[in-house]
Chains A and B, each alone.
Chain A
Amino acid sequence: MAWRRAVTALLILSGLLSLGYIGISSYIAEQLVYEAPKAIVKTPASQALRFANVTFPSREDQIMLKGWLIPGVLPDGRLTVDRVIVVVHGTRTNRESPGDHLLELTAELARHGLGVLSFDMRGMGESPPAPLSMGALEQRDVLGTVDFLHHGAPPFPELGRPRIIGGLGISMGASTLLLAASREPGIAAVVSDSAYAEVVPLLERELAKRTVAPIGCVPGVFAPAALVMARLLYGVDFFAARPVATVARIAPRPLLLIHGTADDYVPIANFHQLQAAATSSAGSQVTTWIVPNARHAQAFKKTGAEYITRVVAFFDAALGPAA
């Protein structure tokens, strides 16, 4: 009978298409949630700074993370950890992050009297392999730094514990820091450089430009399903990486938002969304700096001394002078 043939063909076609679609999306999800870590080549010693290697657990899931605690250097040469800035690197890099000169930036902060805790988020640098969630899970790593600074064994016992903690994040690190700071009042001030407001639109756009072996270029139609499959297969909820939904909770703590006008990876519309959300809260203290012609996470590279002057002045005002 003709209708039987038609129904069979419809069932087979829809079955094969769905099976293929889900199968390919699952493979893309598997590729999306992990990338081999990049090795750390330089340490703060290359910047003529004293530092200690530290290991501490993330909050909630206790993943042991690796980092450096770099004491700040006061004008008279004394070392201090009175104020410590937690520095959070971007995606698929590490605490050295040569692409955005993160080690040089942390060194400059230390030379201006700010202690620095720079660490590798889970799955990156020397920290253990873990799924990449673009901030949804990594915020626990930032929360772990606060626990470590408050309660962990101090690597410089003679310097005591920090009086106050601030945070500086770049790109995914900035978004992760915003998520963590909205949950943790112990982070007293935040500098967010090149943060995204929500990661899903970014991933959907980036996936369409990405090549996944052996598929090659990923058609955009697979992106939404790949994000869903990442959640189903690996528990990675990219949809939860939305600092725009929580950034208002940082108020009344001071927040400095930095973004480059030539950022084509995280378009400046993200900055405006975050600014609007952050200032929507009563008592918010939001400072902004739009860097002309700076590409993604390149504000420090582009402006150098001006970046340090602005960031240090922000932390001095927010955290008070070093003791």
Chain B
Amino acid sequence: MRRLRAAQPMLVLIALVAVLTGLTVIVREISARAGFLVERPIVLFVWLGGLLIAGIVFGWVIRRSVRGAGSTSSGLLLVATALALASPLALMLLQHPAP
């Protein structure tokens, strides 16, 4: 049960990314009918708003999971989640190192 709780942030992260991406595509399709000048800010607004909400939800899930984690494997799962979270940024930095 504790291991499952430690895996929660990773699962929630995957679910949030999927929901947010899907929502943005739907909003884009709907708002495109009103023209690109309407579509452009609406899509950004929904995406950034979604990111913010996703961040809050994720923070809450992390708090719960860290409190409940008691074993080494739970700790490692949480570290893996942190690495998955940072991987897009790390990949970009590796490809574009500072001069």
Contact = CB atoms under 8 A, between A and B. Distances in A.
A97 to B, nearest CB: 22
B36 A123 contact: yes
B73 interface: no
A220 B99 CA distance: 10
A14 B83 contact: yes
Nearest to B45: A30
Contacts of B40: 30, 33-34, 131, 234
Interface string B54-81: 0100110011001001000001001101
A233 B51 CA distance: 13
B34 to A, nearest CB: 11
B1 interface: no
A33 B44 CA distance: 12
Contact of A26 (B9, B44, B79, B89): B44
B88 A21 contact: yes
A131 B36 contact: yes
A233 to B, nearest CB: 5
Contacts of A18: 85-86, 88-89
A290 B82 CA distance: 53
A224 B88 CA distance: 11
A7 B78 contact: yes
B44 A27 contact: yes
Contacts of B81: 11
Contacts of B83: 14
Interface string B14-40: 000000010010001000000111011
Nearest to A3: B75
A15 interface: yes
A12 B59 contact: yes
Contacts of B55: 15-16, 19
Interface in A84-136: 123, 128-131
A16 B96 CA distance: 20
A8 B92 contact: no
A11 to B, nearest CB: 5
A235 B24 CA distance: 11
Given A4-B66, A234-B43, A10 B79 contact: yes
A163 to B, nearest CB: 36
B82 A21 contact: no
Nearest to A122: B36
Given A17-B89, A26-B48, A233-B47, A12 B36 contact: no
Given A15-B58, A23-B48, A233-B24, A221 B82 contact: no
A229 to B, nearest CB: 8
B6 to A, nearest CB: 10
Interface string A3-45: 1100110111111111101110011001001100000000000
B36 A129 contact: yes
**8 nearest A-B residue pairs (beta carbon):** A14-B86, A10-B82, A14-B85, A129-B36, A30-B44, A11-B82, A14-B82, A7-B78
Given A21-B89, A234-B39, 11 more contacts: A11-B85, A16-B55, A18-B85, A18-B89, A23-B51, A34-B36, A221-B98, A223-B96, A224-B92, A224-B95, A233-B44
